[in-house]
Amino acid sequence: MCSGGGGKKGPGPAACICLLVALLLVTAVCVRGGGPGGGVGEDEGEGGGAWRSTDALHPIEAEMRPYVREMIGHAFNSYIKYAFPKDELRPVNGAGKNTMGGYGWTLIDALDTLAVAGFHTEFRRYARWVEENVSFDIDITVSVFETTIRALGGLLA
């Protein structure tokens, strides 16, 4: 669905659009569809977790759900393939870049999305990676806003 353009290496600008659309749709589905349907420790398989039941959704939302999940998977897999463990993926050149201390911010930020979308195996794997490899015990200047929305949001998941 989303691919690099112009024969360039990497995911291309379309990946940014796909990620943005996926995140907006996830937010809309979660707000209208309710909370998680099972524990994070339970492997719900494809479409698990909060994504199991489509009973309370508008038919269009229920129809879009698998596409949203696919886009989340595509965006996350592109980050892992091209940028992990850097902070961010630069979509035009397909490279990773540390922009805020080298914590792997995109990974940390994505943890809650992985859990909500039912990617429990990936959630457990990368939550463990964060626990074993990321330390916030360093004296650097940080953005309070970015730390709040990305780190706290992702780690509270």
With a cut of 90, say whether residue 96 has pLDDT above it.
Answer: yes
Residue 9 lies in a domain: no
With a cut of 80, say whether residue 27 has pLDDT above it.
Answer: no
Residue 32 lies in a domain: yes
Q: Is the pTM of this model over 0.75?
A: no
Structure confidence at residue 34 as a pLDDT band (50, 70, 90): very low
Range ranked top by mean pLDDT from 4-18, 23-37, 63-77: 63-77
With a cut of 80, say whether residue 7 has pLDDT above it.
Answer: no
For the residues of 23-73, what is the DSSP string, one character each? HHHHHHHHHHH-S-SS-TTS---TT-GGGS--TTS-HHHHHHHHHHHHHHH
- State the CB neighbour count (10 A cutoff) for residue 131: 9
pLDDT, position 101: 80
With a cut of 90, say whether residue 103 has pLDDT above it.
Answer: no
Nearest to 125 by CA among 90, 156, 80, 88: 80
With a cut of 50, say whether residue 2 has pLDDT above it.
Answer: no
Structurally, how many domains does the chain consist of?
1
- The CA-based dihedral angle spanning residues 133, 148, 141, 23, taken in that order and rounded to the nearest 10 degrees: 70
- Rounded to whole angstroms, the Cα distance separating 17 from 15 reads 5
Question: Residues 62-73: what's their mean pLDDT?
Answer: 93
Residue 3 lies in a domain: no
Q: Which domain holds residue 43?
A: 14-156
More confident residue, 86 or 103: 86
Percent of the chain beyond pLDDT 70? 64
Residue 2 lies in a domain: no
Nearest to 91 by CA among 109, 78, 76: 78
Residue 5 lies in a domain: no
pLDDT, position 81: 95
Residue 1 lies in a domain: no
Residue 4 lies in a domain: no
**Amino acid identity, residue 103?**
Y
